[in-house]
Structure 1
Amino acid sequence: MTTFRVGAPLRLLLPAEKACARPAGLGGKASWPGTRASWFALLLPLMVILASCGFPGIASTTAQLPAVNPTVQATPLPSVRFPQDEASHRNLTEWWYYTGHLDGVASGGQPRHYGFELVVFQVLRSNLPPVYASHFAISDITRGEFHFDQRRLVELSATIPNGTSTAGFALHVGDWTLSGLNGQDNLEAGMPHYTLRIHLRALKAPVLHNGNGLITYGLGGFSYYYSRTRMTTSGLLIDHDQTVKVTGQAWMDHQWGNFLTLSNAGWDWFSIQLNTNTEMMLYLIRDATGRITSTYIGVIGADASDHLLPARALRVTVLEHWTSPASGIRYPSGWRLDINDPTLTASLTLVPQLQDQELLTYQSTGNSYWEGAVSIQGQSHGQPVQGQGYVELTGYSR
């Protein structure tokens, strides 16, 4: 088993099985805001090609991408800078990814609990305009329902600062928006029955994965990657025309680079936020046969220090399975994570807050995946702990 010293859930290396959320029994829809009919006709072949790219969020096929020069970087790559690198870059692939948990009280005094996901992907090829895809999902834990939507557009007049701006980022996919500066972020997205408007504030410095936020692959390219592992969240969630004030915690990933990707594989990715003010990011990467080929264990301390543990320190036990009635795919559903290392000794049980948190995003990124809110109970260093997190499952089949 190989352990990569990187902090990314290999959303960056493998073809993602991403999709768009579905209200239990409802299908997500794709929309094309902001495009012009004539340009759409010209760019449609590119979008079909991009739907076949083997990077997270895009289904993997044997289709050929526009030519990419596979030359090794001749000069050292610059380090990550804040706030310059919060905005978009002129690289092949980039995304901004948020997941989190929200609590509120309805007008009648009933407590409400939700999970949410909001992500924007940016794809650049040759001199063509960037293509954006976005997924928005709400796990309505109180109702026991999962809802999602998806969008995709070509942005003819996109501004890409490429590390030259100190104004942060501002992304618009139709009327869905993500913006932020120095860990003060704002999200807004809507779909039938749910509209989210929240502000997020980072409680810790960003975690630069691999120590400096840069992972190089030689001829395979490179990727930058950082996470904000604990963000306090407040704002409004309009739930079936009722405005609910919500607060909670979120996790944010930002990744960009010129990298090639592998096909016919998948991963299990876990983000964990414990009530000890510590976080963990774990993932297992599988090849086309289902064999685990790499394992990552990152532990973020209360002081935002990032500790990488060896693969042998982790044992993952799948507790149950769930079969999607929509796709027929059988997913793991419930896990026990045992970690045994001088840095951390822990045993955690993760339980999905809803079984059905599968996203079918065939209309935006051409694939499907499970990404959902989980509750966490267990012990760390012999003391009881609890928490919450998100799990992403890709590469599973019928």
Structure 2
Amino acid sequence: MQRITQGRRTWKLVVLSGLLGLMLALSSCTFPGMVSTNAQLPAYVPVGEQKPLPPVQFPQDEGSHNNLTEWWYYTGHFNGQDGHRYGFEFVIFQVSRSDLPPLFASHFAISDITRGQFAYDQRNVMLPLDNSKQAGINVGIGDWRIQGRNGHDHLEASMKDYAIKLDLNGVKAPTLHDGKGLITYGLAGYSYYYSRTRMQVSGQLLDHGQPVQVSGQAWMDHQWGNFLTLGSGGWDWYSMQLSNGGDIMIYFIRDATGKVISTYAGYTDDKGQSIVIPQSAIQNEVLDHWLSPHTGINYPSGWRVSINDPRLKVNLTVMPQLKDQELVVTKSTGNVYWEGAVDIQGQQNGQTLSGQGYVELTGYTK
């Protein structure tokens, strides 16, 4: 889900700081992942539109749009040649409000599973919107960049102790959520949304100054549209890449009391064919909790996820690879969330399988 949000004179810096504060106040609730809303993600039906919104097109729609909210979101797993295990998150958000230049914000995180450590960094900057209409992705903040076309992407980011230069190649056609990649949040607006649910990863990680050749797989979300947050609450978002080649995305949207008010699940098989799973077929049980020593927030930590549908019967246990994968990113998108690498064990249609994935938890408080 949700899958919201860096030689001048002193007075210009003051004005810029004020504008950034305004942008963050307007937009931070939408980051990261899905908006908080009590809508049920029905298929998009234009209401009051003079003409229907156009369908998603590739590679034209991979790049920036002149919409209120947009993001490119990558999570994944890779190993060094010696078997050292890592997870990673890299996201760039683009937020446009009024006539101000867009605000770009970014988060970069490494889950160093073998070392048992978690590291992250954040950035933001106001930049003019790229109006070149060039097909493909080309967004960045300084040397943090995402570039790509037709599912062949390149990521670069760096922070203290870690840096990545990764090439990602989609092995399946993009999954258009809700069938056409266009969903509505009712009064909150509409959103285009597709995922590349399985991308091969290769490249280099700089780990504490040491170059490491890595390989693995990743998940990519791209979402954009004229949507805003309505109300408060949060969401739990799961991406799961299974050993039989199937991929599952589930999210549960919660209201301010913690009650789940909307559920969405999609399954993409090993051939790239996708289906939407009805809400009634999904069950989720929290197995444990983790109390953050940084913020005092109590997060769920471990889940049993079940899907009981005639087309797909799944029982999965999802466990964090590290307990502490919390990001306190109040300087860039104004929020705190947990997003972490997970291991998966279970059964699908009676067959034992395993897998890896990512879970995102937002809206949790002390």
Matched letter for residue 112 of structure 1: H
Contact persistence 1:72–1:218 (CA under 8 A)? no
How far did residue 379 of structure 1 move?
0.7
> Aligned partners of 1:175, 1:44: CA distance in 2, in Å?
22
Q: Secondary structure at the match of 1:111?
A: coil
Larger deviation, residues 123-132 vs 325-334: 123-132
> Aligned partners of 2:8, 2:345: CA distance in 1, in Å?
47
> Aligned partners of 1:81, 1:111: CA distance in 2, in Å?
39
For the pair 1:149 / 2:118, whether they are aligned, the reply is no
> Aligned partners of 1:37, 1:104: CA distance in 2, in Å?
46
How far did residue 274 of structure 1 move?
0.3
Which residue of structure 1 aligns with residue 19 of structure 2?
46
Map residues 259-278 of structure 1 onto 2, 5 A cutoff: 259-278=227-246
> Aligned partners of 1:57, 1:298: CA distance in 2, in Å?
19
For the pair 1:323 / 2:295, whether they are aligned, the reply is no
Which residue of structure 2 aligns with residue 223 of structure 1?
191
Matched letter for residue 16 of structure 2: L
Which residue of structure 1 aligns with residue 131 of structure 2?
160
Which residue of structure 1 aligns with residue 163 of structure 2?
195
How far did residue 221 of structure 1 move?
2.1
How far did residue 272 of structure 1 move?
0.3
> Aligned partners of 1:366, 1:218: CA distance in 2, in Å?
25
> Aligned partners of 1:36, 1:256: CA distance in 2, in Å?
35
Which residue of structure 2 aligns with residue 248 of structure 1?
216
Pairing partner for 1:131 from 103, 110, 124: 103
How far did residue 74 of structure 1 move?
2.2
How far did residue 90 of structure 1 move?
0.5
Matched letter for residue 311 of structure 1: Q
Matched letter for residue 164 of structure 2: L
Which residue of structure 1 aligns with residue 112 of structure 2?
140
For the pair 1:209 / 2:177, whether they are aligned, the reply is yes
Which residue of structure 2 aligns with residue 65 of structure 1?
none
Q: What does the per-residue CA deviation read over 1:253-308, in whole Å, with 9 as the maximum and x for residues that have no partner?
A: 00111112123201111000001111000111110011110111111112211111
Larger deviation, residues 41-50 vs 256-265: 41-50
Q: What does the per-residue CA deviation read over 1:301-346, in whole Å, with 9 as the maximum and x for residues that have no partner?
A: 1221111111121111111100000000000001111111101111
> Aligned partners of 2:301, 2:207: CA distance in 1, in Å?
27
> Aligned partners of 2:52, 2:9: CA distance in 1, in Å?
40
Which residue of structure 2 aligns with residue 77 of structure 1?
53
Q: Secondary structure at the match of 2:30?
A: coil
Contact persistence 1:35–1:153 (CA under 8 A)? no
Which residue of structure 2 aligns with residue 284 of structure 1?
252
Which residue of structure 2 aligns with residue 238 of structure 1?
206
Which residue of structure 1 aligns with residue 73 of structure 2?
97
Matched letter for residue 50 of structure 1: M
Q: TM-score, normalised by structure 2?
A: 0.92
How far did residue 35 of structure 1 move?
8.0
Matched letter for residue 49 of structure 2: Q
Percent of counterpart pairs with the same letter?
55
Contact persistence 2:188–2:230 (CA under 8 A)? no
Bigger relative contact order, structure 1 or 2, given CA contacts below 8 A and separation 6+?
1
Change (3 A) 1:324 1:205: same
Q: What does the per-residue CA deviation read over 1:335-373, in whole Å, with 9 as the maximum and x for residues that have no partner?
A: 111111101111111110000000000111111000000
> Aligned partners of 1:218, 1:357: CA distance in 2, in Å?
33
Which residue of structure 2 aligns with residue 55 of structure 1?
30
Which residue of structure 1 aligns with residue 40 of structure 2?
none
Change (3 A) 1:42 1:318: same
For the pair 1:338 / 2:306, whether they are aligned, the reply is yes
Q: Secondary structure at the match of 1:308?
A: strand
How far did residue 148 of structure 1 move?
0.2
Matched letter for residue 92 of structure 2: V
Moved segments of 4+, more than 4 Å: 34-39
Pairing partner for 1:348 from 300, 303, 316: 316
Q: TM-score, normalised by structure 1?
A: 0.85
> Aligned partners of 2:295, 2:209: CA distance in 1, in Å?
30
Aligned-residue CA RMSD (Å): 1.9
> Aligned partners of 2:320, 2:333: CA distance in 1, in Å?
24
> Aligned partners of 1:36, 1:206: CA distance in 2, in Å?
46
> Aligned partners of 1:246, 1:36: CA distance in 2, in Å?
44
Contact persistence 1:10–1:285 (CA under 8 A)? no
Pairing partner for 2:83 from 79, 104, 111: 111
> Aligned partners of 2:230, 2:364: CA distance in 1, in Å?
15
How far did residue 38 of structure 1 move?
5.5
Change (3 A) 1:367 1:36: farther
Q: Secondary structure at the match of 2:365?
A: coil
> Aligned partners of 2:187, 2:76: CA distance in 1, in Å?
35
Q: How many residue pairs end up in the alignment? A: 352
How far did residue 134 of structure 1 move?
0.3
Larger deviation, residues 319-328 vs 41-50: 41-50
Change (3 A) 1:123 1:72: farther
Q: What does the per-residue CA deviation read over 1:134-189, in whole Å, with 9 as the maximum and x for residues that have no partner?
A: 0000000010000000001111x44134xx433x1111201111100000000000
